[in-house]
């Protein structure tokens, strides 16, 4: 005698309820509706693609065991995924192979269920409910285009990868594209430039730029308003998703979990993800390993502090775009005194222009010096990796190029390690950035250098004197 699908599922639920937390049972099992049972194939209806993927990842083992107990080893499970909150017409069946009885053979194969209706209305965190997908505001600043992005040695890899992604979103090996740097070095400009270029080349694609803190706020609101599925559905519709400052998700387990499933869905659907952070994936603390591993699937590219020539080019680009003429000596003064943050550099330029306009003063070098002294404390003592290398090399009477060479001479290696030590302690640059600038080394080499210097400080009085004297010179 064939078993009724409702009875089968209810019997399974009795076992499942005793083996999962009550809140998990209410969240993930009570919404499931058994639809039919034919030829040992049980069909259950789930509310959304995200719901289906979560069941597949977290609970497929216990579902498999209870179904085999009720029906037999040849049982099959079929999901009917509701594609819209308001209608059942778009349900689609997906047959899922249950895990093998041998636990060592268990494999999870979640399927990405596409949202294939282009004109369906859906609740949108950015716009009013009922507005169609094609009207989603990408949240991009038109000034942050590739044409306004100044390329230099400091950002060439990141810029080239970003442009390649913009020309073929989802179709390159750079998915996700992970951009990282300290604050004020152009991450936001570059990731928005990618979005702007995609919209120009592919107007039909849905692009969205969102800061991580806004993503967190939206997710918390969706939980409070009991419309988390709408939140997930919305992000699953995006063709190019740009998440800025993803490091702000650290320590927020629930938000990371929801982002993990959105990431999986988009990546499996060949949609493009662009992510920025203040550190490379390997240095992000408080982030789930499964997310970190996915951040490494594509390309991680850093943006370093621009050199003197690039800083000058940035200032000249800014003045040209604003239709302003400024003497070269003033531009060079700004570029030489603000080295680590391009927002501060552009802010100083704006302040000079404002002082000149409001007070009807001529733009002179003296005016620039007055404003710089007010805006940036101790600008003459501002410490950059380049400055640290110069001070260290001057102290040991060697050329800076020697630090970047491959020589293994003891005195060169020691000077390089000292430069890395001070760069780690006196700048906000990542270990990877420090290593890249000082000799093209990796972050592990920088960590080893810092450990070596600390050990020598504790055991070698002469070496400790070197460190003290160099530190005084750096802080003059």
pLDDT at 279 over 50: yes
What is the per-residue pLDDT for 55?
80
* Tokens read off for 435: 């290593």
pLDDT at 332 over 60: yes
pLDDT in tens, 126-156: 443 433 444 678 889 998 999 888 888 888 8
Instruction: Quote the percentage of the chain above a pLDDT of 90.
Output: 22
| Position with higher pLDDT, 329 vs 57 | 329
What is the per-residue pLDDT for 476?
59
pLDDT at 62 over 80: yes
What is the per-residue pLDDT for 314?
80
Instruction: Quote the percentage of the chain above a pLDDT of 70.
Output: 83
What's the mean pLDDT in 231-258?
Answer: 90
Backbone angles phi, psi at 138, to 5 degrees: -70, -10
How far is C-alpha 199 from the geometric centre of its chain's CA atoms?
20
* Tokens read off for 88: 């059942």
For tokens 């694609």, name the residue.
Answer: 205
What is the per-residue pLDDT for 131?
37
Q: How confident is the model at residue 340 (pLDDT cuts 50, 70, 90)?
A: low
What's the mean pLDDT in 56-77?
Answer: 84
Q: How confident is the model at residue 106 (pLDDT cuts 50, 70, 90)?
A: very low
Q: How confident is the model at residue 98 (pLDDT cuts 50, 70, 90)?
A: low
Cβ contacts of 235 within 8 Å, gap of 6 or more: 208, 241, 262, 266
| Position with higher pLDDT, 370 vs 438 | 438
What's the mean pLDDT in 217-233?
Answer: 86
Cβ contacts of 377 within 8 Å, gap of 6 or more: none
Structural domains for the chain: 5-105 (3.30.300.180), 135-302 (3.40.50.300), 308-381 (1.10.8.60), 385-474 (1.10.1750.10)
Closest CA to 146 of 162, 126, 130: 162
Cβ contacts of 397 within 8 Å, gap of 6 or more: none
Pick the most confident of 17-26, 125-134, 372-381, 416-425: 416-425
What is the per-residue pLDDT for 135?
63
What's the mean pLDDT in 460-469?
Answer: 89
pLDDT in tens, 151-186: 888 888 899 999 999 999 998 889 999 999 888 788
Q: Are 136 and 206 in contact (CB under 8 A)?
A: yes
Q: How confident is the model at residue 441 (pLDDT cuts 50, 70, 90)?
A: confident
| Position with higher pLDDT, 61 vs 323 | 61
| Position with higher pLDDT, 170 vs 47 | 170
| Out of 81-95, 327-341, 426-440, least confident range | 81-95
pLDDT at 269 over 80: yes
Q: How confident is the model at residue 194 (pLDDT cuts 50, 70, 90)?
A: very high
Distance CA 377, CA 426 (A): 16
pLDDT at 101 over 90: no
Q: Over the chain, what is the mean pLDDT?
A: 80
Q: Are 244 and 188 in contact (CB under 8 A)?
A: yes
pLDDT at 348 over 80: no
Q: How confident is the model at residue 1 (pLDDT cuts 50, 70, 90)?
A: very low
Q: Are 90 and 142 in contact (CB under 8 A)?
A: no
DSSP string for residues in 245-275: -GGGGTT-HHHHHHHHHHHHHHHHTT-EEEE
What is the per-residue pLDDT for 421?
93
Pick the most confident of 19-23, 241-245, 369-373: 241-245
pLDDT in tens, 67-85: 888 888 888 888 887 654 4
| Out of 34-43, 282-291, 350-359, 453-462, least confident range | 350-359
| Position with higher pLDDT, 316 vs 138 | 138
What is the per-residue pLDDT for 74?
83
Pick the most confident of 38-52, 74-88, 98-112, 376-390: 38-52
What is the per-residue pLDDT for 374?
64
| Out of 49-53, 349-353, 400-404, 427-431, least confident range | 49-53
What's the mean pLDDT in 393-420?
Answer: 88
């Amino acid at each position: 005698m064939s078993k009724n699908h409702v009875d089968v599922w209810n019997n399974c639920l009795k076992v499942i309820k005793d083996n999962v937390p009550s809140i998990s049972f209410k969240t993930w099992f009570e919404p499931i509706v058994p639809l039919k049972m034919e030829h040992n194939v049980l069909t259950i209806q789930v509310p959304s693609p995200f719901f289906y993927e979560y069941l597949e990842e977290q609970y497929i083992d216990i579902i498999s065991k209870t179904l085999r107990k009720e029906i037999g080893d040849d049982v099959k499970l079929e999901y009917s995924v509701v594609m819209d909150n308001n209608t059942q017409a778009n349900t689609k069946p997906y047959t899922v192979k249950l895990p093998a009885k041998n636990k060592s053979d268990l494999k999870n194969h979640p399927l990405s269920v596409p949202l294939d209706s282009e004109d369906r209305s859906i609740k949108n965190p950015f716009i009013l409910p009922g507005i169609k997908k094609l009207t989603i505001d990408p949240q991009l600043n038109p000034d942050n285009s590739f044409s306004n992005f100044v390329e230099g040695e400091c950002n060439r890899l990141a810029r080239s990868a970003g442009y390649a992604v913009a020309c073929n979103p989802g179709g390159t090996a750079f998915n996700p594209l992970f951009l990282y740097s300290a604050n004020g070095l152009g991450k936001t400009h570059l990731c928005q430039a990618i979005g702007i270029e995609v919209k120009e080349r592919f107007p039909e694609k849905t692009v969205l730029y969102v800061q991580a803190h806004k993503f967190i706020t939206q997710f918390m609101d969706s939980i409070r308003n009991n419309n988390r599925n709408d939140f997930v559905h919305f992000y699953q519709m995006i063709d190019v998703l740009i998440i800025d400052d993803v490091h702000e998700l650290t320590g927020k387990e629930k938000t990371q979990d929801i982002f993990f499933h959105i990431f999986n869905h988009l990546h499996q659907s060949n949609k493009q993800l662009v992510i920025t952070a203040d550190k490379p994936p390997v240095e992000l603390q408080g982030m789930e390993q499964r997310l970190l591993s996915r951040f490494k699937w594509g390309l991680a590219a850093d943006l370093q502090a621009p050199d003197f020539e690039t800083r000058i080019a940035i200032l000249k680009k800014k003045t040209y775009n604003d239709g302003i003429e400024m003497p070269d000596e003033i531009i060079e003064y700004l570029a030489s005194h603000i080295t680590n943050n391009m927002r501060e550099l552009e802010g100083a330029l704006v302040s000079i222009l404002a002082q000149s306009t409001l007070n009807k003063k001529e733009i002179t070098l003296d005016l620039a010096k007055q404003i710089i002294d007010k805006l940036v404390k101790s600008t003459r003592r501002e410490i950059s990796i380049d400055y640290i290398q110069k001070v260290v090399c001057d102290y040991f009477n060697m050329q800076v190029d020697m630090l970047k060479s491959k020589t293994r001479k003891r005195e060169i290696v020691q000077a390089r390690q000292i430069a890395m030590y001070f760069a780690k302690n006196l700048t906000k640059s990542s270990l990877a950035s420090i290593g890249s600038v000082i000799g093209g080394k990796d972050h592990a080499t920088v960590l080893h250098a810092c450990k070596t210097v600390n050990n020598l400080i504790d055991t070698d009085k002469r070496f400790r004197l070197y460190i003290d004297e160099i530190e005084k010179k750096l802080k003059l």
